[in-house]
Amino acid sequence: MKNNNKPPFETTTLWDYPTQNYGNRPHGDNKYRGVTPAFVIWNLIQRYTKEGDLVVDPMCGSGTTIDVCKEEKRRVLGFDIVPYRKDIKQADARRLPLNDEIADFVFIDSPYSDNIRYNDHPDNIGNVSCENPRFFEELDKVVKEAHRILKKGKHIAWLIGDQAKKKKFVPVGFKMYSILEKYFKPVDIVCVARHNQTSNTPIWHQRAKKCNFYLRGFKYLIIMQKIK
Ligand X SMILES: C[S@@+](CC[C@H](N)C(=O)[O-])C[C@H]1O[C@@H](n2cnc3c(N)ncnc32)[C@H](O)[C@@H]1O
Nearer to ligand X, 71 or 213 (CB): 71
Among 92, 114, 145, 162, binds ligand X (CB under 6 A): 92
User: SS3 for 92?
Assistant: strand
Query: Shortest distance, CB of residue 119 to ligand X, whole angstroms?
Result: 6
Among 81, 146, 149, 223, binds ligand X (CB under 6 A): 81
Query: Shortest distance, CB of residue 206 to ligand X, whole angstroms?
Result: 28
User: Could you tell me the strand order of the sheet in which 54-57 lies?
Assistant: 14-15, 185-193, 218-225, 150-160, 103-109, 54-57, 75-80, 89-90
Nearer to ligand X, 53 or 92 (CB): 92
Instruction: By CB under 6 A, tell whether 126 contacts ligand X.
Output: yes
Instruction: By CB under 6 A, tell whether 78 contacts ligand X.
Output: no
- Cβ–Cβ < 8 Å for 142, 110: yes
Three-state secondary structure readout of 13-40:
CEECCCCCCCCCCCCCCCCCCCCCCHHH
By the criterion CB under 6 A, which residues form the site for ligand X? Answer: 28, 32, 34-36, 58-62, 64, 79-82, 92-94, 109-111, 118-119, 123-126
